[in-house]
Structure 1
Amino acid sequence: MNRKTIIYIILSVCLFISISFSIYYYTQAEHYDQQIDEVTEPDSSLPAYHFVLIGEEMDHDYWRLVGEGAKDTEEKYDVFVEYEGPRRSNPEEQLELLDIAIKSDVDGIIVQALSDDFLPLINKAVREGIPVITIDTDAPESTRASYIGTDNYEAGKLAGETLVKDTNGEATIGIITGSFTNAHHQLRVQGFREIISREEGIEVVAIEESNITRVTAEEKAYQMLKEYPNIDALYGTSALDGIGMAQATASLNLTNDDLYLIAFDTLPENVELMKQGKIDVLIEQKPYEMGYRSIELMLDVMEGLPVEDAYNTDVNVVRIEDIIKKSEGL
């Protein structure tokens, strides 16, 4: 084998090795680029929208139903719903959660606006491009897109009309309200007072605040009944007020023949008290519907569809006969 042939073989081997390495590194580079793309490209499996719902109280059957309604929309719509709230009613903590949601740059916020303190943060969210819907308690003077929930003034009027009818316009009333400062409780008292003020035979002799706890509602109702033994009707503006009032009347050995009780929400404990004859009437709201429809409303806002200023969910008067019919499937 001559020298020229050897050189040719060596050059051929070098060329083959060079081509092989080029192919190997090209393949590795392609594989690496594919990994980078998988990491950096948006995950198509992620929901289109991330919404935050901030309720009043996580440890409350009413707000659990609101949260369930909102979360159940995830099965139908391309959304992730983050349900947040204080364990116990705490407006300051709600404001902190609202601020966190804004800083997290979520796609939309649904919040219960308990007072005017919520206005600045709601307006800030809207300025930063995050639409806001109020739920259960409105902030009409803010720049929120819409409100969904009970018309609390009308609900108070309905309670007043029911009491007037059931007592034939003759009653001495004590009121236990969840809060003197929370807007929805204020409205329920105002609507109630508007109706009963038309009746000469009806008088409100006392009003106390329960801070939306059954223990305080019981204490205040007990003290009220001791101080004003002529009270023959109690009106509570929250579900826990109804429970507390019923416990207070039981402690004083009073029956529904002695005292007429009307309160809010058909939660299981209230329904059981009604079955026992300890609560006469419940004003039923639609918390599950509020939660579910709030997400549908937010989706309309996100898609630029026209929305109304407020959407009021139904309220109904519920008596023991309604509970019996429902349990019998009638």
Structure 2
Amino acid sequence: MSMGRLSRVAYVCGALCFVVSCSLAIFWGYKVFVHKPSMEKMDQAKYKYHFVLVPEEMDNEYWRLVGKGAQAAAKQNGVLLEYVGPKQANFDVHLKTIEMSAASKVDGIMTQGLSDEQFTPLINRVVEKGIPVITVDTDTVNSKRLAYIGTDNYYSGVLAGKALIADTKGHANVAIITGSFYKNHQQQRVKGFEDAVKSENGIHIIDVEESEISRVRASEKAFQILQNHPEVNAFFGTSALDGVGIAQVVEQYKKTGQVYIIGFDTLPDTVNYIRNGTIQATVVQEPYQMGYEAVKLMIDLVEGRKVPSIVHTDTRIMRAKDLPLTRKNIGEGSK
């Protein structure tokens, strides 16, 4: 085959690869960002404002509750709200969603704060363009975000530590499984817990491991800890999936009632494990309240009213004796 023909074949193959790559990129973008055409084409004249809520991951029961609260407030106040972002936690997609929203000149952006050097400059640029940003669930205190609404994560860790002290009568060898070593809200929960128990001579923190906010990974870490540290008789899981992952391993080891577990949030599996005695307690947040109040805060900002820079939503401990609370009370909180 001549060199000229080889060049033409290479050119055609390259062009085909380019077309396929572009098609896959477009398809990926559509699947990931989940922008609903009906929302984009909707006549916005009947809405006062257009807000965007960017969750850590859309396919997450906790964030769906945040979105549900935000949608309720939006509906009551004539706001067009888009709940859009990565289907599963993905830092780059999260940033891209915020960039796309800002480019669309929405009236306000609500997003989980991310602990990364790329996140703060992006939020600062968005705010400098005149688009207000509120962080929800996790704050980014060094950014120019205009308000934060969500759990006081340090305090929630303190609550968990105090609950463990009370329930174990101040004697426990504890392992902590945290969703992330790098995310600010997870760090704060661990720090609050450590500070709460550090003065207790009978409580020892044996190990701290990372689950990467994965139930499977939390189970793997719990199994590893029990293998390497048989003296461990208590666990604290700092993300919603950690407690469930730990509980699965404790049941597998047939150590229910011998190993104390305190988790986070009220996923149905967590509640079931509390009911059957595998998990003894969990920290209850108010995701519905976060979403609902975030929209109200954003309206106040857009309309020029002064708002507090930090609004902490309710946090409490739930044990088996508290289970008569309805799912609405647990999931939605006060409005």
Same fold (TM over 0.5): yes
- Show the counterpart of 2:133: 132
State the 1:141 CA deviation.
1.1
1-side partners of 2:159 and 2:81: how far apart? 33
In the alignment, which residue of structure 1 is the partner of 2:107? 107
Higher CA-based Rg: 1
Give 3-state SS (helix, strand or coil) of 2:321's partner: helix
Letter matched to residue 195 of structure 2: E
Structure-2 residue corresponding to 1:236: 237
Give, in angstroms, the shift of residue 272 of structure 1: 1.0
* Contact 2:107/2:131, CA 8 A, preserved across alignment: yes
State the distance in 1 between where 2:171 and 2:311 align. Answer: 35
CA apart distance, 1:96: 1.2
- CA distance in 1 between counterparts of 2:301 and 2:214 reads 35
State the partner residue of 1:70.
70
Q: Which residue of 2 aligns with 1:247?
A: 248
Of all paired residues, the percent bearing the same amino acid is: 47
Q: Letter of the 2:236 partner, please give it.
A: Y
Question: How far apart, CA to CA, are the structure 2 residues paired with 1:289 and 1:241?
Answer: 23
The correspondence of residues 59-208 of structure 1 with structure 2, limited to 5 A, is 59-116=59-116, 117-208=118-209
- Aligned partners of 1:83, 1:325: CA distance in 2, in Å? 28
1:252 Cα shift?
1.2
How far apart are 1:326 and its partner, in Å?
A: 4.4
Read off the aligned partner of 1:60 and give its amino acid letter: N
Letter in 1 for 2:251: A
Is 1:319 the counterpart of 2:319? The answer is yes
Name 2:276's counterpart in structure 1: 276
- The Cα of 1:293 is off from its aligned counterpart by 0.5
Structure 2 gap ranges (5+): 1-42, 330-335
Q: Kindly provide the amino acid, as one letter, of the partner of residue 59 in structure 1.
A: D
Say whether 1:266 aligns with 2:266.
yes
Deviation at 1:99, TM superposition (A): 1.2
Q: Which whole-Å CA distance do the structure 1 matches of 2:253 and 2:138 have between them? A: 34
Q: 8 Å contact 1:175–1:207 — kept in the other structure?
A: yes
1:205-250 C-alpha deviation (Å, 9 max, x unpaired): 1111001010000011111111101101000001100110000111
Q: Distance in 2 between matches of 1:323 and 1:251?
A: 24
Counterpart of 1:319 in structure 2: which amino acid? R
Separation in structure 2 between the aligned mates of residue 99 and residue 225 of structure 1, nearest angstrom? 44
Within 5 Å, which residues of 2 pair with 1:43-58? 45-58=45-58
- The aligned residue for residue 226 of structure 2 is 225
Distance in 2 of aligned mates of 1:325 and 1:105: 42
Q: Which residue identity lines up with residue 102 of structure 1 in the other structure?
A: A
The residue that corresponds to 2:289 in the other structure is: 289
In 2, Cα distance between the equivalents of 1:199 and 1:272?
30
Tell me the alpha carbon deviations over residues 239-277 of structure 1, each in whole angstroms, 9 at most, x when there is no partner. 100110000111211112x10000100121111111111
Map of 2:8 onto structure 1: none
For 1:209, the aligned partner's letter is E
Matches within 5 A, 1:296-311: 296-311=296-311
Measured in 2, the distance between the counterparts of 1:102 and 1:74 equals 19
Decide whether the 8 Å contact of 1:101 with 1:109 is kept in 2.
yes
In structure 1, what is the Cα distance between the partners aligned to 2:304 and 2:185? 29
Match of 2:19? none
Deviations 1:92-117 (A, max 9, x none): 21111111111111110001112133
Q: What letter corresponds to residue 283 of structure 1 in structure 2?
A: V
Which secondary structure state, in structure 2, belongs to the residue aligned with residue 59 of structure 1? coil
CA contact (8 A) 1:66 1:289 kept: yes
SS state at 1:324 partner: coil
Residue type of the alignment partner of 1:308: P
Q: Deviations over 1:288-328 (max 9, x none)?
A: 0000100000000001101011000000110111103548x
SS at match of 1:200: coil
Per-residue CA distance 1:164-191 (angstroms, 9 max, x = gap): 1111111100010000011100000000
Whether contact under 8 Å (2:234, 2:259) holds in the other structure is yes
- Report the residue type matching 2:143 in the other structure: S
The residue identity in structure 1 corresponding to 2:173 is T
Mapped contact 1:114–1:184 kept (Cα < 8 A) = no
* Unaligned stretches of 5+ residues in structure 1: 1-42
Give the C-alpha shift of residue 75 in structure 1: 2.2
The TM-score, its normalising length taken from structure 2, stands at 0.83
Q: For the Cα contact (< 8 Å) 2:44–2:80, is it kept in 1?
A: no
Partner SS state of residue 120, structure 2 = helix
Structure 2: which amino acid aligns with 1:153?
A: Y
